[in-house]
Amino acid sequence: MKILVVGGGGREHAIIRKLKESPRVEKIYAAPGNGGISKDAECVDISAMDKEKIVTFSKENGIDLVFVAPDDPLADGMTDALEDAGIRAFGPHANAATIESSKVFSKNLMKKYNIPTADYEVFDDPKKVMSYIDSKNKYPVVIKADGLALGKGVIIAENRDEAQAAVKEIMQDKKFGDSGNNVVVEEFLTGPEVSVLAFTDGISLKPMVSSMDHKRAYDNDEGLNTGGMGTISPNPYYTDEIAEICRKTIFEPTVAAMNSENRKFKGCLYFGLMITPDGPKVIEYNARFGDPEAQVVLPRLKTDLVDIIEAVIDERLSHLDIEWSNEAAACVVMASGGYPLSYKKGIEISGLDENGQTDGATVYHAGTKFENGKFYTNGGRVLGISATAKTLDEALDKAYSAVKSISFDGAHYRTDIGRAVSEEKTD
Ligand code: AMP
Ligand code: GLY
């Protein structure tokens, strides 16, 4: 098979490396890909948002399957455009991707179908938001822009001033553009967070192994929210008992709810969960693999990913057994100095071999380019260094020793990925 992967970050690199393991795959293309991906796939210079060019390229090159990985093209109808042109695609249709691209939609869905989530109200008028927040007078309060905002449209306001500043930024200054026309104001929940990605064909749902993201930029969960600075899998808070509650109260009801709304979801459905004292609740849905969750979940997948993708597209997932390794996995993201705010690009990376790899771990490239035999930084998140091992501690040791062998000016990474978990375990 010839497969085209749409996207060009660490998640896409992890998807491509997994696809490469399949004996069914003859050739992989990436649009646009990146420096590291170019060692595993042929990169084509087409934007991940360019539906017309992706369709034309797929037709001209006899592509058998397109894997649409990022949120924006899914929300914009890339899967619909490909299917209309007779090309098989993995990823939800636009009307189902709304579960991620509109928080107002997803919150209303959960309310209508009794899926546990934080209490909330939706507003389109900044004055009404503040009078609501004043009437509750309970802090912290969570304020979210409705639309996609690169994981940065969520503000946890500790007091009235912060709430007012957030409302102004989102609704009046339009920091996230039209994403901020509506806001969701939510009750603040507490408890450990768990990411569960699941394959679903709209009929049955098969959860993957669990993971834990680290969203803040700095150690001890300080600094701004980022796209994700590191992950571990499995997530120790996700016990069998919690998994069973999630299946009954969240996963299956969500698939059914989307069907009832005539928005059948086919693809990878991502549940961002918080295990609160009142049980697991949904913080957010994503319509795709997480990044860097994919970098710890996919390395543990033993079943041929192409078989799974086809079972999802053809709606026969319930007949397929999906196998996972019992090993633990860890991923440490190396980011550009300054990320998630402004940062420089084009800085030479040292410590990588000619394939962009290093000994003892797998290097997933998130934002790199390859020129004249060298790798350079080309994004906020630059590399995700992943390793698997029998225990989490060993996986972390392997990932961190590989991180220490790689460097670029201004490189920043968290030194405490998975540490809270591994310390709790040994206490
Ligand atoms: P989201 O983009 O919706 O996943 O939100 C980003 C992060 O903000 C989450 O991973 C949580 O850490 C935090 N967050 C979002 N909603 C809430 C909430 N209702 N209560 C507490 N923390 C939240
Ligand atoms: N790592 C969080 C996300 O992909 O949304």
Q: What is the pLDDT along the chain (427 residues), one digit of tens a residue?
A: 999 999 999 999 999 999 999 999 999 999 999 999 999 999 999 999 999 999 999 999 999 999 999 999 999 999 999 999 999 999 999 999 999 999 999 999 999 999 999 999 999 998 899 999 999 999 999 999 888 776 668 889 999 999 999 999 999 888 888 888 889 999 999 999 999 999 999 999 999 999 999 999 999 999 988 999 999 999 999 999 999 999 999 999 999 999 999 999 999 999 999 999 999 999 999 999 999 999 999 999 999 999 999 999 999 999 999 999 999 999 999 999 999 999 999 999 999 999 999 999 999 999 999 999 999 999 999 999 999 999 999 999 999 999 999 999 999 999 999 998 877 765 5
Q: Whole-angstrom Cα distance, residue 54 to residue 6?
A: 8
- Tell me, yes or no, whether 338 and 399 share the same domain: yes
Residue ID of nearest Cα to ligand 1 atom 14: 283
Q: What is the CA(150)–ligand 2 centre distance, in A? A: 9
In a domain, 176, yes or no: yes
Last residue within a domain, chosen from 47, 77, 93:
93
Q: What is the CA(195)–ligand 2 centre distance, in A? A: 9
Query: Can you say whether the dihedral through the CA atoms of 249, 250, 256, 260 is positive or negative?
Result: positive
pTM for this model (two decimals): 0.95
The total domain count for the chain is 4
- Tell me, yes or no, whether 249 and 136 share the same domain: no
In a domain, 103, yes or no: no
In a domain, 28, yes or no: yes
In a domain, 378, yes or no: yes
What CATH number is attached to the domain comprising 60? 3.40.50.20
- Tell me, yes or no, whether 338 and 381 share the same domain: yes
In a domain, 114, yes or no: no
- Tell me, yes or no, whether 332 and 313 share the same domain: no
In a domain, 105, yes or no: no
Residues with CB under 6 A from ligand 1: 118, 142, 151, 154, 156, 186, 188-189, 193, 215, 225, 272, 283-284
**3-state class (DSSP) for residue 236:** coil
- Tell me, yes or no, whether 165 and 207 share the same domain: no
In a domain, 296, yes or no: yes
Give the CA distances from residue 56 to residues 37, 47, 62, 407, in Å, rounded to whole numbers and listed in that order. 22, 13, 10, 39
> Helix 305-313 and helix 10-20: axis angle, to 10°?
100
Q: Is 304 in the pocket of ligand 2 (CB under 6 A)?
A: no
Q: Is 186 in contact with 118 (CB distance < 8 Å)? A: yes
Q: Which domain holds residue 334?
A: 328-426
- Tell me, yes or no, whether 315 and 333 share the same domain: no
